[in-house]
Structure 1
Amino acid sequence: MRLVQVTIPAGKREAVLGALDGEGIDYVVTDETSGREYTGVVYFPLPDNAVEPVLDMLEELGLEDQSYTVVVDANTVVSRQFDDLEEKYATDDTDEERISRQELHAEASDMTPTFPVYATMTLISAVVATAGLLLDSPAVVVGSMVIAPLIGPALAASVGTVTDDDELFWTGVKYQALGLGLAIAGAAVFAWLLKTAQIVPPGVELAAIDEISERFTPDLLLLAVALGAGVAGVLALSTGISVAIVGVMIAAALIPPAAAAGIAIAWGLALPAIGATVLVLVNTVSVNLAGLVTLWYTGYRPRQWFETDAVERKLFRNVVVFTTIVLVLSAFLGAVTVSSHQASTLQQGIDEDIETTLEQAEYDHLTLLEVESEVGDETAYEQGAIVDFTQTISHVTVTVGYGADEGERGALADELHERINERADEEVSVQVQFIEIEER
């Protein structure tokens, strides 16, 4: 429930109080003695879902430009008239839980800090995320998400669209673009300093670090994180629930990929930098798209019908632009996902072929110890120079053990090479290593 305080301009007192009486709203009026153009201040409690229609009604009486309105939380209201008001405005859908359009706009504006604070916090979160990725520490990466102030601008852009506030919309868009650009640049500079100072070992294989490799070769499933974050962020904001936890979810979709892009730039890795940057872009647009559609679905509209028509055109334009960007960038993520699935399927088949071969009677004296598969160009893989988006297996190393009776080993290498290449679309080099096993 809310307690609303409205100043009454001169000449509007009877109209305002009459409108409140007509709605069955219990109110208190005090006289305004400041000598300004106001004649009084009216206070009245409202159910959450009654705030928007009542304020719209008062705005139609001319209060919007001539007075100020304050809406605050009220913990308890004891009044038979208020109980009747709750029944009058009760609904069976999400409108009963959502805050008013006016409160939504104010909340979205307040959640966007001044740019110096926003830029500083974003830069700090990117640096912490970079350290967490290089340390392969999920805990540190999560910590970077907590301090990232990204939810305000993301929701501001969506709220600005549905409330027809172009200034709020463009503020949200500019904050996101500049903030994420700063995050990537800051992560790149920090990672370069770590590399130059040799705090990170010069021979480290970035592709072997799990926290980094999953952002270098982004999967289409990561798109669900951004879409879910956008929907959850809007629902949390529009129902008055704390958005702090949802803010972490939005940061999870944006800050680690931005840090990974910075790391790739610092190491001079072109393809991983592209992959991580694409992930940042598609997640950013997805958060905005999901938030925009959710706000419209939950019923937020401008007050005037002619404003609604204009906003519908802007909404349609933004949805089309955002959807197009998401689909184009998702095609890249989808290609990586399909390639990863094919490589996983191929790897499983190779493992089965090797096991089946070694189960034959002529290889009873051999024991399978290990199978290692390399993706992409072997030289580049060993140098950690690139990550191959195609995820093509190019080399397989099979390690087997043999006893005193070593038997025929050349035949095994030939047979494995033949079996594996029958399954693969491209030529795969096969290396078989033999290790003598002594049992005592």
Structure 2
Amino acid sequence: MLHLRLIVPADRTDEVVGLLEHTVGTAHLVVLAGAARSPAGDVVLCDVARESGDELIGALRALGIDRSGSITVEVMDLTLSARADEAEREAPGESADAVLWEELSEVTHEESTFSVTYVAFLSVATMLAACGVMLDNAVLIVGAMAVGPEFGPLAGISTALVQRAPRLVGRSLWALVGGFAVAMVVTAGFAWLMDVFGLFDAGMVTAERPNTGFIWHPDWMSFVVALLAGIAGTLSLTSAKSGALIGVAISVTTVPAAANAAVAFSYQDLQQTWGSTAQLLANLGGIVVAGTLTLLLQKALWAARRRADPAVKPGPSRID
């Protein structure tokens, strides 16, 4: 279940309450007249099944409540109520299959920002991966994969493509490309510094690396794994099962490929540089393709379910 807290202008309360009462899957409607001070208005509380959440939020935005008041949505971990159970039974479909596009847009917006924290995480992950490739240590590679925050911008690109939001595409691309560019430059400098201290040397780049040599040898399996990881990652976001993202992160060779490319370039090993770059591009491209197709399929399936159930009243859903 989702919990909605609305601030509604007093002259729009009856209209909003009517919408909530006629939406399938709602329960626990509460109106607190004049309770809001900034902005001034009535506070309306309501619980709604996740399956009906996207249509309801879209309808509220169509009424302009997000501009004249506010719409706050919270995920409820536990609700003990016979009326809530009845509301979930009335709502069409399964909650795990429902996509809250507004929530997805907000999450990808936050994760797709070119910020100091984002660049710091990506740079640290890439330097950690550089240590892994130079030491041929698979444990360090897995750790670097888990630290890397690059799935956020990748999900942002897929979401923006499906929702036709060019500004989000540009922001996500900037975070992705700019972030990797900075991280790779920082890692190249890190490799030089480690060489000065005698911790890295050219022989470590050219040595046989049975545990990490695959990083600069891309093949079709690299793309296939990226596709599968992109599907799993997108499903974890749309179903609010964020725990699966850790598995996604350690399935794809993005951060290690960027690290190997930076280290190899610092030692003028162009063969490994190009091979690692190809590996990086294959993984990034596979995740974006899979994420976009997964969202398109989810959108089409949910639209078909709404058309098949006459009790469901479609509401507009948009991403600004």
Q: Would you call these one fold, judging by a TM-score over 0.5?
A: yes
Task: Measure the CA separation in 2 of the matches of 1:213 and 1:75.
Answer: 44
Alignment of 1:171-210 (within 5 A): 171-204=171-204, 206-210=206-210
The amino acid that maps onto 2:214 is: E
Query: Structure 1: any 5+ residue segments left out of the alignment?
Result: 312-440
Counterpart pick for 1:62 among 52, 55, 64: 64
Distance 1:44 1:202, change over 3 A: closer
Write out per-residue CA displacement over residues 287-330 of structure 1, whole angstroms, 9 at most, x where no aligned residue: 1121111111111799659x79xx9xxxxxxxxxxxxxxxxxxx
Task: Measure the CA separation in 2 of the matches of 1:104 and 1:65.
Answer: 20
Write out per-residue CA displacement over residues 406-425 of structure 1, whole angstroms, 9 at most, x where no aligned residue: xxxxxxxxxxxxxxxxxxxx
1:99 deviates by 3.9
Specify the alignment match of 1:294 in structure 2: 294
Task: Measure the CA separation in 1 of the matches of 2:86 and 2:5.
Answer: 21
1:82 deviates by 2.8
Specify the alignment match of 2:74 in structure 1: 72
| Contact 2:205/2:264 (8 A) holds in 1 | no
Specify the alignment match of 1:39 in structure 2: 41
SS at structure 2 position matched to 1:208: coil
1:84 deviates by 3.0
The amino acid that maps onto 2:75 is: D
The amino acid that maps onto 1:275 is: G
1:34 deviates by 4.8
Specify the alignment match of 1:84 in structure 2: 86
Specify the alignment match of 1:125 in structure 2: 125
1:205 deviates by 6.0
1:40 deviates by 0.7
Higher relative contact order (CA 8 A, sep 6+): 2
| Contact 1:49/1:98 (8 A) holds in 2 | yes
Query: Structure 2: any 5+ residue segments left out of the alignment?
Result: 304-313
Specify the alignment match of 1:398 in structure 2: none
1:195 deviates by 3.4
| Contact 1:212/1:260 (8 A) holds in 2 | no
| Contact 1:157/1:173 (8 A) holds in 2 | yes
1:279 deviates by 1.2
SS at structure 1 position matched to 2:93: coil
Q: Which has the larger radius of gyration?
A: 1
| Contact 1:10/1:37 (8 A) holds in 2 | no
1:228 deviates by 1.7
Specify the alignment match of 2:307 in structure 1: none
1:157 deviates by 1.6
Distance 1:32 1:42, change over 3 A: same
Task: Measure the CA separation in 1 of the matches of 2:18 and 2:41.
Answer: 15
Specify the alignment match of 1:263 in structure 2: 263
SS at structure 1 position matched to 2:250: helix
Specify the alignment match of 1:149 in structure 2: 149
**TM-score, normalised with respect to structure 1:** 0.63
Specify the alignment match of 1:248 in structure 2: 249
1:277 deviates by 0.8
Task: Measure the CA separation in 2 of the matches of 1:202 and 1:53.
Answer: 59
Distance 1:31 1:213, change over 3 A: same
Specify the alignment match of 1:223 in structure 2: 223
Specify the alignment match of 1:168 in structure 2: 168
| Contact 2:54/2:100 (8 A) holds in 1 | yes
Between stretches 120-129 and 59-68, larger displacement belongs to 59-68
Task: Measure the CA separation in 1 of the matches of 2:36 and 2:66.
Answer: 20
Task: Measure the CA separation in 1 of the matches of 2:40 and 2:155.
Answer: 35
Write out per-residue CA displacement over residues 235-263 of structure 1, whole angstroms, 9 at most, x where no aligned residue: 0000001154145236x420111111112
Distance 1:52 1:267, change over 3 A: same
Distance 1:150 1:43, change over 3 A: same
Specify the alignment match of 2:10 in structure 1: 10
Specify the alignment match of 1:374 in structure 2: none
Distance 1:290 1:143, change over 3 A: same
Residue identity over aligned pairs, in percent, reads 23
| Contact 1:231/1:294 (8 A) holds in 2 | yes
Task: Measure the CA separation in 2 of the matches of 1:299 and 1:225.
Answer: 24
| Contact 2:121/2:147 (8 A) holds in 1 | yes
1:271 deviates by 1.8
1:74 deviates by 1.6
SS at structure 2 position matched to 1:72: strand
1:33 deviates by 4.3
SS at structure 2 position matched to 1:232: helix
SS at structure 1 position matched to 2:72: strand
| Contact 1:98/1:240 (8 A) holds in 2 | no
| Contact 2:230/2:248 (8 A) holds in 1 | no
**TM-score, normalised with respect to structure 2:** 0.85
